[in-house]
Structure 1
Amino acid sequence: MAKFVIEPGAVIDGFTLGECVHRGGMATLWSVTRDDIADAMLMKIPRVSEGEDPAAIVSFEMEQMILPKLTGIHVPQCYGTGDFARQAYVVIERIPGKTLYARLDELPLPYEEARLIALKIADALSDLHRQNVIHHDIKPSSIMFRASGEAVLIDFGLSHHNQLPDLLQEEFRVPYGTAPYTAPERLLGVRDDPRSDLFSLGVLLYFFTTGVRPFGESETMAGMRRRLWRDPYPPRQLRKDYPPWLQEIVLRCLEIEPAWRYPTASQLAFELAHPDQVKLTARSERLKRDPLTTVWRRRFNGNLVQPRRPAAVAAQLAASPIVAVAIDVTEGSDELNGALRTAAERILKTSPLARLACLNVLKLGRVTIDRTLDEEGNNKHVGRLVTLRHWATPLKLDESRLTVHVLEAVDAAGAILEFVNANHVDHIVIGAGQNSLVRTLLGSTSAKVASEAPCSVTVVRLPRQGPSSSPRQEPPGDDRSMPAI
Structure 2
Amino acid sequence: MERLHVGGMAHIWRVTRDDMSPPAILKAPIVQDGDDATAIVSFEMEQMILPLLTGPHSPRFIASGDFSKKPYIVMERIEGESLLSRIDHAPLPVAEVTKIGIGVAHALADLHRQHVIHLDIKPSNIMRRPNGEITLIDYGLSRHDLLPDLLAEEFRVPIGTGPYLSPEQIARDRSDPRSDIFALGVVLYYLLTGVRPFGYPRKKAGLARRLWRDPEPPHSLNPECPPWLQEVILHCLEPEADKRYATAAQLALDLANPEQIQLTERAEKFSADSWLVARRRWWMQKFSPSRFTRSKASRRASAPIVMAAVDLSEANAPLAEVLRETAGRIMKTAPGARLACVTVIKTSRLRLDSPQDEQGANLHVRRLVDVRAWANDLGLLPEQVTAHVLEATDPAAALIDFARENHVDQMVIGAGSPIRRTIGPTAARIGAQAPCTVTLVRLPRPTDLAPEGEDVETEPDSGFGI
TM-score between the two structures when normalised by the length of structure 1: 0.88
Alignment of 1:75-474 (within 5 A): 75-302=58-285, 307-367=290-350, 369-434=352-417, 444-466=425-447
1:436 positional shift: 9.3
Aligned equivalents of 2:355, 2:376: Cα separation in 1: 26
Query: Relative to structure 2, which stretch is displaced further, 203-212 or 369-378?
Result: 369-378
Q: Do the aligned partners of 2:418 and 2:445 also contact (CA within 8 Å) in 1?
A: no
Q: Do the aligned partners of 1:193 and 1:310 also contact (CA within 8 Å) in 2?
A: no
1:293 positional shift: 1.3
Aligned equivalents of 1:69, 1:167: Cα separation in 2: 17
1:94 positional shift: 1.1
Query: Relative to structure 2, which stretch is displaced further, 376-385 or 110-119?
Result: 376-385
Cα distance change, pair 248–21 in 1 and its aligned pair in 2 (3 A): same
Q: Do the aligned partners of 1:298 and 1:304 also contact (CA within 8 Å) in 2?
A: no
Aligned equivalents of 2:344, 2:218: Cα separation in 1: 37
1:196 positional shift: 0.2
Whichever residue aligns with residue 341 of structure 1, its letter is: R
Question: Over residues 68-127 of structure 1, what are the superposed CA-to-partner deviations in whole Å (9 max), with x where a residue is unaligned?
Answer: 111111101111111111111111111123211111111111000111011111111111
Whichever residue aligns with residue 313 of structure 1, its letter is: K
Aligned equivalents of 1:295, 1:304: Cα separation in 2: 14
Q: SS in structure 2 opposite 1:408?
A: strand
Alignment of 1:27 onto 2:10: yes
Q: Do the aligned partners of 1:99 and 1:143 also contact (CA within 8 Å) in 2?
A: yes
Whichever residue aligns with residue 138 of structure 2, its letter is: D
Q: Do the aligned partners of 2:418 and 2:443 also contact (CA within 8 Å) in 1?
A: no
Cα distance change, pair 298–367 in 1 and its aligned pair in 2 (3 A): closer
Aligned equivalents of 1:192, 1:467: Cα separation in 2: 57
Whichever residue aligns with residue 397 of structure 1, its letter is: L
Aligned equivalents of 1:382, 1:305: Cα separation in 2: 49
Aligned equivalents of 2:289, 2:43: Cα separation in 1: 30
Per the alignment, residue 10 of structure 1 pairs with: none
Whichever residue aligns with residue 456 of structure 1, its letter is: T
Query: Relative to structure 2, which stretch is displaced further, 115-124 or 22-31?
Result: 22-31
Q: Which runs of 5+ in 2 are unaligned?
A: 450-459, 462-466
Aligned equivalents of 1:366, 1:77: Cα separation in 2: 37
Per the alignment, residue 4 of structure 1 pairs with: none
Cα distance change, pair 467–351 in 1 and its aligned pair in 2 (3 A): farther
Aligned equivalents of 1:306, 1:22: Cα separation in 2: 43
Q: SS in structure 1 opposite 2:438?
A: strand
1:413 positional shift: 1.4
Aligned equivalents of 1:92, 1:156: Cα separation in 2: 12
Question: Over residues 293-347 of structure 1, what are the superposed CA-to-partner deviations in whole Å (9 max), with x where a residue is unaligned?
Answer: 1122222443697643232222222221111111111113221011101221222
Query: Relative to structure 2, which stretch is displaced further, 411-420 or 175-184?
Result: 411-420
Alignment of 1:58 onto 2:41: yes
Aligned equivalents of 2:157, 2:448: Cα separation in 1: 65
Cα distance change, pair 368–297 in 1 and its aligned pair in 2 (3 A): closer
Alignment of 1:73 onto 2:21: no
1:30 positional shift: 1.8
1:153 positional shift: 0.7
Query: Relative to structure 2, which stretch is displaced further, 326-335 or 243-252?
Result: 326-335
Per the alignment, residue 15 of structure 1 pairs with: none
Aligned equivalents of 1:188, 1:25: Cα separation in 2: 24
1:465 positional shift: 1.7
Q: Do the aligned partners of 2:418 and 2:444 also contact (CA within 8 Å) in 1?
A: no
TM-score between the two structures when normalised by the length of structure 2: 0.92
How many matched pairs? 451
1:228 positional shift: 1.1
1:364 positional shift: 2.2
Q: SS in structure 1 opposite 2:190?
A: helix
Question: Over residues 144-183 of structure 1, what are the superposed CA-to-partner deviations in whole Å (9 max), with x where a residue is unaligned?
Answer: 1222221111111111111111111111110111111000
Aligned equivalents of 2:187, 2:131: Cα separation in 1: 22
Aligned equivalents of 1:28, 1:385: Cα separation in 2: 53
Question: Over residues 130-152 of structure 1, what are the superposed CA-to-partner deviations in whole Å (9 max), with x where a residue is unaligned?
Answer: 11110000000111122222111
Cα distance change, pair 265–301 in 1 and its aligned pair in 2 (3 A): closer
Q: Do the aligned partners of 1:59 and 1:168 also contact (CA within 8 Å) in 2?
A: yes
Q: Do the aligned partners of 1:76 and 1:153 also contact (CA within 8 Å) in 2?
A: yes
Identity of aligned residues (%): 51
Q: Do the aligned partners of 1:244 and 1:284 also contact (CA within 8 Å) in 2?
A: yes
Aligned equivalents of 2:253, 2:411: Cα separation in 1: 15
Q: Do the aligned partners of 2:419 and 2:445 also contact (CA within 8 Å) in 1?
A: no
